[in-house]
Amino acid sequence: MSDRYPKGILMPAELTKEIREEKLYYVDHCPMTNEDRLFFDNSGGSFRLKSTHEAFAAVDNLPNCTGHGGVVSDYLDSMRTKATDALRTMFNAQDGCIVTSMTASIIIWDAIQAVIKSVPGTNVVTTELEHPCSYDSVETACKETGKEMRVAHTNKATGSIDPASVIELVDENTCLLSVIMTSNISGAIMDVETIVRECRKIKPDLYVVCDCVQHVPHGLVDMKACPVDAVGFAAYKFGGMRGLGAGWLSKRLSELPHSRLIRERADNWEMGGSAPGSYAQLVAMFDYVCWIGGHFVDTDDKRTLYEEGMNRIAWHERALLDHMLEGTDEIPGVRHIPGVHVISDNPDLTQRDLIVALTFDGKSCTDVAREYEKRGVIVNERVKESLYSARQVLSLGVDGIVRVTPLHCHTLEEIDRFLKITAEIAAL
Ligand SMILES: Cc1ncc(COP(=O)(O)O)c(C=O)c1O
C-alpha cells in the first residue's frame, strides 16, 4: 500500500501551493483573530475544503424536497446514489449501504448496538484505545445483554494494539470485535488487516466494527484487503462540514434490526428528511482526493485515482512526521529537544498517521497548549480529566499529552517554525 516511501515523500511544491491557496479555507491565517497561525489541531477540527462548502450550498439552497418527483427532486435524489458510489469506491466495497447522521459517534454507536443485541454470542472484544463512542456502546450493550466485555491492552512502546492481544481474546462465542483503525491519541495505525484475518480463522463469521474517524483523512481503508462490517468517519475531519458523520455498512449488518420506520427498507439507516447537500459534500471530498491522484497517474478509474491521491497524502504527511521527529542539524526535532518527550514513538513511520503525542518535563499539557497558542500555534491537550481521553492516555502510561496534528497541506518550513517554538516552550 503506502509503504513505497518508508520516510515519506513530499508532494511537488506547486501542488501544495495550489491546495493551500485554492482548495482549503484559512490554512495559515485565522479570520477571527485576524492573525497568522499554524493550525496543528486537525485531529480535532480540521480545514474545510472550499468545494465541499460550495457543493453543499448549491444543493441545499434548492427548496425542493427529495422523493417528490420532478426534475429537481429527482436531481436531489440522485445525490445519494452518487455519494453511495463515491463511498463504495473510497472503501473498495462492492455492496452494502452508506449511512449519514449528525456525528460519526452516532453511526458507530448504533452499529455496535445492532450487532450485540441481535447476533448470537456470549462475549464482545474491544480495545483500550477505542473512542468512547465505541467503547461505551460496547459496555452499555454488554450490560444490557449479559455478554462479557473483553478488552485488549495498549502496547505503550508503539501506542498501538498488538494483533496477538486481540486474537487471544476472540473465540467461537465472540459476537463482535470493535477495533479502532488509528488512535486519536497516539496516532498509531492498528494492523486491522491481520487482526481481522486471524480472528476470522477462529470465528469465520465474526462481525467487526471499525472506527476509522482518524484514519480516513490520512490513509486508505480497503474492504477487499480488510473486510469489516462497519466503518464510520466524520466529514468535518476530512474537509467537510460539522454535523455530518458518514459510514459504510456491510449488507448483513445493514439488515440487522435497528431503529427504523416499520415500512422502511430493512437496510435504510437514515430516518426522516434526508440531506442531499450532505451527500454532495461527500462526493466533493472524494473528488478532491481523486484530483490529487490525477497529478500522478493518468487514468479515469476512480479507485486508482483515489488510491493514488490518498497515498500521496499519506507520503507527504509521513515526510512531515519524519521532519518533526528528527529535525535538522540547525533545528532539532521533537525527539532531540531537551525536556520534550514523544509518547509511543514507534520508529516505523508506516505504522503511524500524522498525530504526534508530546509531554513536557515539569509542565502541564494544558499550560503547554496555551503557550503554543500565545506563539501562534493551535494544538490540543488530551488529558485524563476528559471523558473523551482518560482511558486512552492512561493506557499509554501518562496523565495527558499535547497532541500535534498538521495536515497534508503543511510544509517543512512550517514544521521548522513549530520546532523552534517547541524548543522555546520547553526552555520556559
Ligand atoms: C477516533 C475517533 N472516533 C470517533 C470520534 C467521534 O467523531 P464525531 O465527533 O463525529 O462523533 C472522534 C472524534 O474526535 C475520534 O477521534
The domain that holds 326 is classified in CATH as 3.90.1150.10
User: What band does 273 get if pLDDT is binned at 50, 70 and 90?
Assistant: confident
Asked if residue 172 is part of any domain, the answer here is: yes
Q: Write the pLDDT tens digit of every residue in 51-103.
A: 999 999 999 999 999 999 999 999 999 999 999 999 999 999 988 999 999 99
| Section 316-320 average pLDDT | 98
Q: Are 274 and 134 members of one domain?
A: yes
Sign of the CA dihedral with 201 first, then 252, 243, and 414 last: positive
| Section 345-372 average pLDDT | 98
Give the CATH number of the domain where residue 219 resides. Answer: 3.40.640.10
Ligand 1 proximity of 103 Cβ (cutoff 6 Å): yes
User: How many distinct structural domains can be found in the chain?
Assistant: 2
Among 211, 256, 250, 219, residue whose Cα is nearest residue 107: 211
Asked if residue 143 is part of any domain, the answer here is: yes
Q: Which domain holds residue 316?
A: 13-48+302-426
The minimum-distance atom of ligand 1 relative to the CA of 108 is: 4
Judge whether 216 and 238 are in contact, CB under 8 Å: yes
Asked if residue 1 is part of any domain, the answer here is: no
| Domain final residue, candidates 261, 287, 313 | 287
- Residue 181 CA to residue 234 CA, distance in Å, equals 14
| Section 2-20 average pLDDT | 94
Q: Are 106 and 244 members of one domain?
A: yes
| Domain final residue, candidates 224, 256, 287 | 287
Q: Write the pLDDT tens digit of every residue in 107-127.
A: 999 999 999 999 999 999 999
Ligand 1 proximity of 104 Cβ (cutoff 6 Å): yes
- Residue 118 CA to residue 145 CA, distance in Å, equals 10
Burial class (CB in 10 A: 0-12, 13-18, 19+), 14: exposed
| Domain final residue, candidates 233, 254, 287 | 287
Q: Are 96 and 146 members of one domain?
A: yes
Q: Are 43 and 125 members of one domain?
A: no
Q: Are 87 and 40 members of one domain?
A: no
Q: Are 88 and 145 members of one domain?
A: yes
State pTM to two decimals: 0.97
Q: How much is the pLDDT for 316?
A: 98
Q: Are 43 and 61 members of one domain?
A: no
- Total residues belonging to the chain: 428
Q: Report the separation in Å between the CA atom of 330 and the middle of ligand 1, taken as the mean of its atom positions.
A: 37
Q: Are 189 and 269 members of one domain?
A: yes
Asked if residue 402 is part of any domain, the answer here is: yes
- Choose one of 133, 160, 355 to mutate for the ligand 1 pocket test, by most ligand atoms within 8 angstroms of C-beta: 133
Indicate if the pLDDT at residue 197 is higher than 60.
yes
Among 220, 261, 274, 280, residue whose Cα is nearest residue 58: 280
Asked if residue 296 is part of any domain, the answer here is: no
The minimum-distance atom of ligand 1 relative to the CA of 105 is: 11
What DSSP assignment string belongs to 26-89? -SSEETTTTEE-EE-BTTTS-PPBHHHHHHHHHHHT----TTS-SHHHHHHHHHHHHHHHHHHH
Q: Report the separation in Å between the CA atom of 133 and the middle of ligand 1, taken as the mean of its atom positions.
A: 7
Q: Are 218 and 70 members of one domain?
A: yes
Q: Are 25 and 69 members of one domain?
A: no
Q: Out of 162-166, 272-276, 386-390, which region has the weakest mean confidence (pLDDT)?
A: 272-276
C-alpha cell recorded at residue 55: 457543493
Q: How much is the pLDDT for 277?
A: 96
Indicate if the pLDDT at residue 50 is higher than 60.
yes
User: What band does 1 get if pLDDT is binned at 50, 70 and 90?
Assistant: very low
Q: How much is the pLDDT for 173?
A: 98
Burial class (CB in 10 A: 0-12, 13-18, 19+), 139: middle
